[in-house]
Structure 1
Amino acid sequence: MEISWIYAIISVIIVSLVSLVGVFILSSRKSLLENNLLYLVSFATGAILGNVFLHLIPEIVQTNGFGLEISLYILAGLLTAFVIEKIVHWKHMHKAGESHVHPISYLILIGDGIHNFIDGMVIGAVYLTNIPIGIATTISIIFHEIPQEIGDFSILINSGMTRAKALFYNFVSALTALLGTAIVLVIGSTTPSLEGILIPFAVGNFIYIAAADLIPEMHKETELSKSAIQFLTFLAGIGIMLVLALG
């Protein structure tokens, strides 16, 4: 087994285990969780954008140049993220106070499963290209997944699931990332052009997540002191990606 395969498999297992972050909700006070989540989202935004502009795009340019075809792959990644989010946003159909499990919960899980599958494919593709960039991509995915999984876990609970079931189904949904990685590692080793498609696709996906989901969340905070800390954690996320790029 190639070293890149080992890195990819370990990385996707770690990303999948992030879905268990719901456990911490069970032992955390709501106010404490919300305060930490604010800065975690800021850090995740910086890490994702740092990974895109300091790792992935330079790798694309160095390997394939940057022409119309690459731009189309990036747009495809952005549009795919938009469609997946449209599906997940149907969660707002949920009516508070229902005692049974709302069917929309399972739609959320399906949407997350697709998203995790794509994350897994991206991890596999990037590691086949460059191990250090694979590590940076894994870190950015992890810091995006933590606030997302906390939110998903909360939604499932509010939709009528027990905590144990919500945690279990959320974890099963996360395991689709393993499938995505496995497919890319097997196919990618015989089809080198696959990385040339998936890496720009990931760029579009990440840009959409940062611009459409995370940055609007950051703007909800208007208190000056908290906004300053938020900006610093945003820079810290970029800083970690810069250190990895220079290293």
Structure 2
Amino acid sequence: MARRGAFRTAIASCVFVLAACAAASQIKGSPAIDSLSLEELDGRLQTCPVVQELNTAKAAHFEAAPSSLTTQLFSVLFPGSPAVNALLATLYISGPPNFLLALVPTNIDPSSLSVMVAFAVGGLLGDTLFHLLPEIFVGEDEPDRARFVLVEPNRNLILGLGILVGFMTFVAMDKGLRIATGGEGHDHSHGHAHGDEKHARTADVGLSTGANTVQGEAKLRKKGDNKKDQADEQSQLKEINPSVKLGGYLNLIADFTHNITDGLAMSASFYASPTIGATTTVAVFFHEIPHEVGDFALLIQSGFSKRAAMASQFVTAIGALMGTLIGIAVQEFGSGGADGEAMPRNGGLWGTSLTWGDMLLPFTAGTFLYVGTVAVIPELLETGPNKGEELRKTLTQFAAVAAGAGIMLYISWHE
């Protein structure tokens, strides 16, 4: 407690003395201040005696704290550079969920995934609120030194605009697929609304004029039909309603596009910090399991065989790799000044210190907000006539959301 009190005292002292320290370091009023980069400004601040005292207290505080289990695990899973770690994360979120499809029965009901979807929503919203948004506006804490945030005109406005662009991008994707499917309300369109009861009902309606109708007739006439009639019925089983087939193919396209955004999220988060990258990987991984199972069930309903559905999911996973590579390229070539020189503080986007690489994380946060709210929450709000059953279901879903968010909070608290 005494060490924590000293740590807080050092912080309070730094707040009051920082202006004087800046003046003593000739930061304030310097004619070349606008030409300095954020790193150069931070370097000058670090020469302040009060900041150095704060750094010493902070380093001692973190050295005394034992390394958490999650930190040790993340260091094993992600041992390389931001680019290498982003590629590893893409492999983690794309490989295992797709291989799990071999264990999924072909007659799975997407609505049975509602609890898993609720858990994934908690993870996504927890990652967004506990990690991404604080990182976007404030930055990541450093264990051995004080980190100061420069409040500059319009920087936060541009970051907020990036979040809005990410959100509206997924709105456009969802709306476009609804138009392509005739306005049937395809909430699963961008590959997020897994466990979608509405979509399951839509698929059932489409199949009622195709395979389901044929199956019902086959059972009624089974005793009296000859082999020729049975052969005709088998051929009709393969003739899935065209609108349902179209929904399956459009879902593959949307899933491929969604996976690109997942790859962008991996690269943006790891270039922000190793902790942000690791937690984003965990959140996306939790989401990918019901994601892939829901898409798998949709493809089966659209007339795909189990092998073809699994192969299609592996093909769409290429989108995640593409997104990661695009994100790495943006981070490597879209950040900093020309020829590797430090960019002046106001030499970025619209006279701020932001670069195009800095906009990937806000875009990711916007997509996660859409996924965790607009895309999935309506499913969790749907209720049936049985009040007792719906109450139990609701409590289970809320518990799953709390569990997903709780894991993200635990990781944030002990990172």
Given the two structures, how large is their TM-score scaled by the length of structure 2? Answer: 0.54
Alpha-carbon contact 1:84-1:115 (below 8 Å) kept: no
Choose 206-215 or 65-74, whichever is displaced more: 65-74
Partner amino acid, structure 2, of 1:232: A
1:23 corresponds to 2:102: yes
What 5-or-longer segments of structure 2 have no aligned partner?
A: 1-78, 140-148, 185-201, 212-237, 336-354
Looking at both structures, which has the greater relative contact order when contacts are Cα pairs under 8 Å and sequence separation is at least 6?
Answer: 1
Cα distance change, pair 244–195 in 1 and its aligned pair in 2 (3 A): farther
Which residue number in structure 1 is paired with residue 350 of structure 2?
A: none
1:67 corresponds to 2:153: no
Residue by residue over 1:130-164, the C-alpha shift from the partner in whole angstroms, topping out at 9 and shown as x without a partner, is 11111111111122222222221111111111111
Q: Distance in 1 between matches of 2:377 and 2:247?
A: 26
Cα distance change, pair 9–109 in 1 and its aligned pair in 2 (3 A): same
Cα distance change, pair 100–12 in 1 and its aligned pair in 2 (3 A): farther
Cα distance change, pair 187–196 in 1 and its aligned pair in 2 (3 A): closer
Return the offset for 1:200: 0.7
Match of 2:328 among 181, 185, 196: 185
Residue by residue over 1:198-228, the C-alpha shift from the partner in whole angstroms, topping out at 9 and shown as x without a partner, is 1111111111111112212222256222322
Match of 2:174 among 74, 85, 104: 85
1:231 corresponds to 2:398: yes
Name the structure with the higher helix share. Answer: 1
Which residue number in structure 2 is paired with residue 125 of structure 1?
A: 268
Q: Distance in 2 between matches of 1:185 and 1:34?
A: 37
1:208 corresponds to 2:297: no
Partner amino acid, structure 2, of 1:199: L
Match of 2:125 among 45, 49, 52: 49
Alpha-carbon contact 2:101-2:310 (below 8 Å) kept: yes
Alpha-carbon contact 2:268-2:357 (below 8 Å) kept: yes
Which residue number in structure 1 is paired with residue 360 of structure 2?
A: 198
Q: Distance in 2 between matches of 1:59 and 1:200?
A: 9
Alpha-carbon contact 1:113-1:173 (below 8 Å) kept: yes
Cα distance change, pair 200–187 in 1 and its aligned pair in 2 (3 A): closer
Kindly report which structure 2 residues correspond to 1:95-114, keeping only aligned pairs within 5 A, or say none. 95-96=206-207, 97=210, 99-100=238-239, 102-114=245-257
1:12 corresponds to 2:90: yes
Q: Distance in 1 between matches of 2:357 and 2:403?
A: 29
Q: Distance in 1 between matches of 2:330 and 2:396?
A: 44
Q: Distance in 1 between matches of 2:356 and 2:321?
A: 17
Return the offset for 1:2: 4.8
Q: Matched residue pairs, number?
A: 244
Q: Distance in 2 between matches of 1:21 and 1:214?
A: 22
Partner amino acid, structure 2, of 1:10: L
Q: Distance in 1 between matches of 2:393 and 2:303?
A: 33
What 5-or-longer segments of structure 1 have no aligned partner?
A: none
Give the secondary structure class of the aligned counterpart of 1:26: coil
Match of 1:167 among 299, 306, 310: 310
Q: Distance in 2 between matches of 1:198 and 1:164?
A: 35
Give the secondary structure class of the aligned counterpart of 1:161: coil
Give the secondary structure class of the aligned counterpart of 2:105: helix
Q: Distance in 1 between matches of 2:177 and 2:251?
A: 5
Partner amino acid, structure 2, of 1:15: I
Q: Distance in 2 between matches of 1:67 and 1:110?
A: 34
Alpha-carbon contact 1:126-1:195 (below 8 Å) kept: no
